[in-house]
Chain A
Amino acid sequence: MGKRAQTLKKIRMFGLVLMLLGAFLGGLLIYMTEPGTAEFAVYTSFGTLVFCVGALMTFGYEVFVREFWKGTWVPGPGHEYPED
């Protein structure tokens, strides 16, 4: 596996961690609060922010690849990561 593929895998893994953190913050901690309270708003807002950034890093990792913006590569079956 090439160096760039390894870097992208690390980005995706970090994104996954953020998604889990966002789901915990925004999706599970709210069970300890009531709707409409300040805690509820803080948990859902931060959870959404962290989760969405994580989702973009995990699933939308093509945005970190130069060739994607040139239109010469997209992630797909057999070409998940760009070549070095």
Chain B
Amino acid sequence: MSGESSKEKGFLYDWELERVPEGMTRPWWNLAYIEMGLFASGFGIMMGGLFAGSNWPWYSILSWLIIGNLILLMFYVLIGSIGVKERVPTSYIAEKLFGPYGAKVFNAVLLIGVLAWAALGVHQIALAITTFTGVDPSITPIIALIFVLLSSIAGYKTIAVLSEMAIPFFYVLVLLWAIYFGFKVNWNAWGLNQPWGGYWPTFWSGVTYVVGLNIMASFLCPNWSRYAKSTKDVVKASTTALFTGMIVLSFLMSTFAAYALTPQDTFADPSIILARCLGPLVGGFGVVLLIWTTADNDFWYLSLSAVQLYPRIPRWIYNIALLVGSLAIIYAGVLYRYIEFASLLAVIWSAIPGMLISHYYVLPRMGVDVDVLKHRNIKFNVIAFIPWVVAAVTAYYMSQGGLPFPELGAAATSLVLYTLLMLVYKGRR
């Protein structure tokens, strides 16, 4: 590794094979923009619709968002700080837990699982373009692919350029519009419990919903936090992104939904909401931008995982190959069957944050070195796969049984079990 002195790597290089050097770090607000872009994805508008139609009062919904995001913040800060320390992406940090060959299994599973969601992003952009422009739906996936390619081709650099334009748009203009539509809704006559509203039987099921949707993304934080100058910058970025993006934006989006949707609507579709509020031109632009800022992150993360599998091919080539693969999935008409499979697979991801926290914060205090696998030349750490499987089963049965916080349960299970099992390496350097 010659990270600090490598200057002539070219525009497309994303420091995928080396530690990000000091001279390539980014300011905290820029990291926050990347994180906010990841959270955008129509999530806020959809959540707003669910909240607006639910039978819960506004202060309960605000409490869910605050409690849920405080839990998420803990994960984002702890795991994001690992990125600052290591300065390499999650795909390589996985080598510390699973060993270099074990990490290939992890990255292969990640590729299989997350490609479905990445392809869904391309498909949604394509559908939005068709809806708002009338262009033939057989052509728009290619247009969507070009959009996502442009913003993900150079990794952080190009994703940042898109976010630097899109995030201020969401946080200034869209918020001003949310307040505007808040004044246009006759709240007294409007009432709650609309057909598109989410149903949460208890207070804690609402908090579980907020946590569950986003805890998985926490183990991917090092992909962007490796560009942070310090842990303090990660704390500032994550706090800003979560509390503005997830709380303020989600909460205020209720006004759009309340204005746009009628009792005849069965789903809080962001495209419908924005089109009815802002018209086809600005509404369409907003929807495309919302999904685009998330889809490019997905392909960025996937291409970083692909590099760990076979590092001789540059990341940007994987990026193109994955986009072409997603196009093939869309044209083959198997996307939604693939999404069903990926949804089943989602239960396995919440174990990873627990194992990362154990490896970097608990085990060193118990006498197990962070680089223990490297020191002992262990290429495939079977021990790490046991807590992963047990935690996934725990999450599955907790969610089947309707218990709150299955994702937290999985993270806690994997943390404890991984810590106990890894103690076999204590003091045996």
Listed in ascending order, the chain A residues whose CB lies under 8 Å from chain B are 19, 22-23, 26-28, 30-31, 35-36, 40-41, 44-45, 47-48, 51-52, 55-56, 58-60, 62-63, 68-80
Contact = CB atoms under 8 A, between A and B. Distances in A.
B338 interface: no
Contacts of A48: 169, 173, 282, 285
A78 B26 CA distance: 10
Interface in B5-26: 7-13, 22-26
B191 interface: no
Given A23-B176, A44-B282, A59 B9 contact: no
Interface stretch (B65-73, B177-185, B300-308, B350-358): B177-185
Given A51-B173, A75-B27, A60 B161 contact: yes
Interface in B335-350: none
Interface stretch (B121-129, B262-270, B273-281, B403-411): B273-281
11 contacts: A23-B176, A27-B177, A35-B184, A40-B279, A59-B165, A71-B9, A72-B8, A74-B157, A77-B25, A77-B233, A78-B229
A8 to B, nearest CB: 14
B13 A71 contact: yes
Chain B interface bracket (under 10, 10 to 19, 20 to 34, 35 or more):
35 or more
B332 interface: no
Interface in B24-43: 24-27, 30, 33
B424 interface: no
A15 B7 CA distance: 30
A20 B372 CA distance: 54
A50 to B, nearest CB: 10
B229 A41 contact: no
Interface of B: 7-13, 22-27, 30, 33, 154, 157, 160-161, 164-166, 168-169, 172-173, 176-177, 180-181, 184, 227, 229, 233, 259, 277-279, 281-282, 285
A75 B26 contact: yes
Contacts of B13: 71
A69 B11 contact: yes
From B33, B168, B181, B277, residue with most partner A Cβ within 10 Å: B168
Nearest to B29: A59
Contact of B168 (A30, A59, A75, A76): A59
Closest 6 CB pairs of A and B: A27-B176, A60-B164, A59-B164, A55-B168, A71-B11, A76-B25
Contact of A71 (B12, B22, B30, B168): B12
Nearest to A19: B168
B101 to A, nearest CB: 31
